[in-house]
Structure 1
Amino acid sequence: MRLTQKSKYAVRALMELALDDCGSPLGVTEVARRQRIPERFLEQIFGDLRRAKILESRRGARGGFCFAIPPGEITILDIVEVLDGEVRPARCSAGGQCYIADAPLCVTSKVWDEAREALEGVFGRYTIAQIAAEERANRAAHAAARDTETPEAQSPFASSLR
């Protein structure tokens, strides 16, 4: 398993859907624009997530994508496994085929198994809802900080005014 850009984009895109609370479906174009993700790539990702029953699509003028299951029940591990496969940092971890002739003597497999367990633990601990809540708080704090700045500090030319 190699964590690909596909999983990273998917987490950001699903976070964006969760931030929108899916009052109405969001189109791929809008999610791609908001998260600066290549639209065609996001279409493929959303297709994979729809087939995995994480998302559902709605057709029509007000169409787009919504969650098929609550974002609080979708972990990062779920996303990674759908898009990148089983979390396995080496071929010999999690019962994979070892490429060493004397596999029973291989002491490094326990290292890879421990790494796999750690990754699964971290990815399984975070849900899309948690990430969206953290992002919502981050955006609110950023907006509040921006609102408290003096007009001069908000100017893109503020540093040249000093």
Structure 2
Amino acid sequence: MLSQKAKYALQALLALAELDEGDSLMIGDIAEKQRLPKRFLEQILLDLKHQGVVQSWRGKNGGYALLKSADKITFGEIVRIIDGPLAPLPCLSRMAYRKCDDCVDEERCAVRRVFASVHDATTEILDSMTLTRALNGGEVRELLRGTG
């Protein structure tokens, strides 16, 4: 399940993605526009800054802006930064693989097989959905058909 922190991060980034190049938004403006708790948003943006997703400036014309183009930032990247691996089972994770404690035979595990399909579809969608695509009304159905 997507954490509230990841949801807030995506909402904040979508607000920043709507800005014209060279513009920035103060945390308070993002919080107000997206109806997010300001104190929580401060920590989220700091995490995203440390990961090279956003940049910030101090002062009268300060604020936050995307460090990369909105068409290069995917939902998958942000969810991984905030929530960690996307895999629903530890035995499916590429970055944090761990054999399930109760596993007898990974290759024959029906639970693993079903969730591997879920994981593959989820990963494909999240890694294809950029901030730009989401703002432009990108449909998940288009991604699944390969027409997006």
TM-score range, shorter chain: 0.7 to 0.9
Q: Partner residue of 1:36? A: 35
Q: Partner residue of 1:134? A: 137
Q: Whose Rg is larger?
A: 1
Cα offset, 1:23, TM superposition: 3.5
* Aligned-partner Cα distance in 2 for 1:9–1:22: 22
CA offsets per residue over residues 29-52 of structure 1, 9 Å max, x none? Answer: 100100001111111111111001
Q: Partner residue of 2:101? A: 99
Q: Partner residue of 1:84? A: 83
Q: Partner residue of 2:114? A: 111
Aligned residue runs from structure 1 range 47-66, under 5 A = 47-66=46-65
Counterpart code for 1:113: A
Instruction: Give the count of matched residue pairs.
Output: 134
Cα offset, 1:101, TM superposition: 4.5
Counterpart code for 1:85: G
Other structure's SS at 1:57 match: strand
- Which segments of 5 or more consecutive residues in structure 2 lack a partner in the other structure? 139-148
* Aligned-partner Cα distance in 1 for 2:18–2:136: 8
Please point out which of 123, 137, 158 is paired with 2:126.
123
* Aligned-partner Cα distance in 2 for 1:134–1:101: 42
Q: Indicate conservation of the 8 Å contact 1:100/1:106, yes or no.
A: no
Counterpart code for 1:13: A
CA offsets per residue over residues 32-76 of structure 1, 9 Å max, x none? Answer: 100001111111111111001010111111111111110110000
Q: Indicate conservation of the 8 Å contact 1:77/1:124, yes or no.
A: yes
Other structure's SS at 1:72 match: coil
